[in-house]
Structure 1
Amino acid sequence: MGNKIPVSVLVVIHTPDLRVLLLERADHPGFWQSVTGSVDRADEPLEETCRREVLEETGIDAGRHVLRDWQLQNRYEIYPTWRHRYPEGVTHNTEHVFGLLVPEPLPVRLAPREHLAFAWLPWEQAAERCFSLSNVEAIRALPARIRGSNAAGAAAAGRADG
C-alpha cells in the first residue's frame, strides 16, 4: 500500500474572458481535466499545493497570478485502480477547489509523464470536455464566481473611496 495523503486540490486556471486551461491525462488519453494534485505532507498549506502542482503540470508560476480559494470541497470515492497509492483502508479523498486567474492564455510546458496535450477553451466547451464531475461543476460555476468576485471588488473599492 502507498502513503499518498487523501487530500487534493483542483485548480481551474482561467482568463478574465473565461477561457479555461485543460490538460489531457497521459495515463488515460481522451480524459481532460484542470490541474489536480495531492498534498505532499500533512502540514502542506493548500495554497502551496496549488502553486506546486500548477508549476509542475503547466510551467505557470501561480505566484504571479490571482489564486483564490473557492471555499468548496468535494468528497469522493477513490477509484479502486488507484487505491494502492493510499494507506490501507483509505477509500475517499477530499478535494479543495481553487481558481487561478491569468491575464490571457499563457504558454504551457507539460509534464510529459502526466499529460499529453493542453487546450485553452471557452468555459462551456471546457466543461463539456472534462471527465470529472467535480471539475465540470467547478467550470460551470466559473461565470457566477467571476461576477461575484467583481461585485465584491467593486463594493470594497466603494467602501475605500467612501
Structure 2
Amino acid sequence: MPTAPVPRPPKIPTSVLVVIHTAALDVLLIERADKPGFWQSVTGSMDFVDEPPRATCIREVAEETGIVVGSPGVPPSALVDWDLRNVYEIYPMWRHRYGPGVTQNTEHVFGLQVPAGIPVTLAPREHLQHVWLPWQEAAGRCFSRSNAEAIRALPARCGAAR
C-alpha cells in the first residue's frame, strides 16, 4: 500500500543570498526550475532556527551548485559575510511554503569568490541551467531586486573600481 507523502515543515523566514563570483567579477546565475526565466544567485532558507547563516551558505552552495567551500581553490575565507541584511516581502506565489501569516523574510548577504572555470553541478529539481556573466549583465538578469542590488555592490565589496 502506498504511503502518503510526509508534509514539509514551514520554511523559516530567514535566508541567505550568496553572490558567487570570480576575481574578474563574473557572476554565477542559476535559473529556477519552478519558475523558468527567473535567474538568481544561490539562495536558501535556514534548515532550523539556530542554524548560523554561514553554515546555511555552505550547505546551500554545495546543494545548488556542487561547489564545496573548503575544497581546493575555495578556502573558507573565500566566503565573506557582507554584514548586509535585507528584509523583503515574500512573493505571494511562494508564501504557501511558510507558516500562516508569514509575509516577510530576512536575507543575509554573502559573497563567495571562486576560481574561473570551477565546475558547476546543478540540483536538477531546483535549477535548469547556469551562466557566468559580467557583473553588470548579471545584475540586469536577476528577477529579485535585492539580488540585483547585491551584484551591483560587488565591485565595491571587492575593492575594484569598475
Give the CA RMSD over aligned residues.
1.3
Whether 1:118 and 2:130 are equivalent positions in the alignment is yes
Counterpart residue identity of residue 118, structure 1: H
CA distance in structure 2 between the aligned counterparts of 1:92 and 1:55, rounded to whole angstroms: 26
Amino acid at match of 1:76: Y
Distance 2:10 2:141 in 1: 31
CA contact (8 A) 1:13 1:99 kept: yes
- After superposition, what is the alpha-carbon deviation per residue over 1:110-155, rounded to whole angstroms, capped at 9, x for unaligned? 101110000011111111111100010000000011007xxxxxxx
Report deviation, 1:2.
4.8
**Ranges in structure 2 where 5+ consecutive residues have no aligned partner:** 1-7
1 CA distance for matches of 2:114 and 2:105? 28
Q: Give the fraction of aligned pairs with identical amino acids, expressed as a percent.
A: 69
Q: Which moved more, 1:63-72 or 1:133-142?
A: 63-72
Give every structure 1 segment of 4 or more consecutive aligned residues whose post-TM-superposition deviation is greater than 6 Å: none
Answer yes or no: is 1:81 the counterpart of 2:72: no
Out of 69, 86, 97, the residue aligned to residue 62 of structure 1 is 69
Higher helix share: 1
Instruction: Assess if the C-alpha contact under 8 Å between 1:105 and 1:120 holds in 2.
Output: no
CA distance in 1, matches of 2:87, 2:33: 24
The separation in 2 between residues aligned to 1:95 and 1:72, in whole angstroms, is 8
Q: How many residues align?
A: 148
In structure 1, how many angstroms separate the alpha carbons of the residues matched to 2:112 and 2:145? Answer: 19
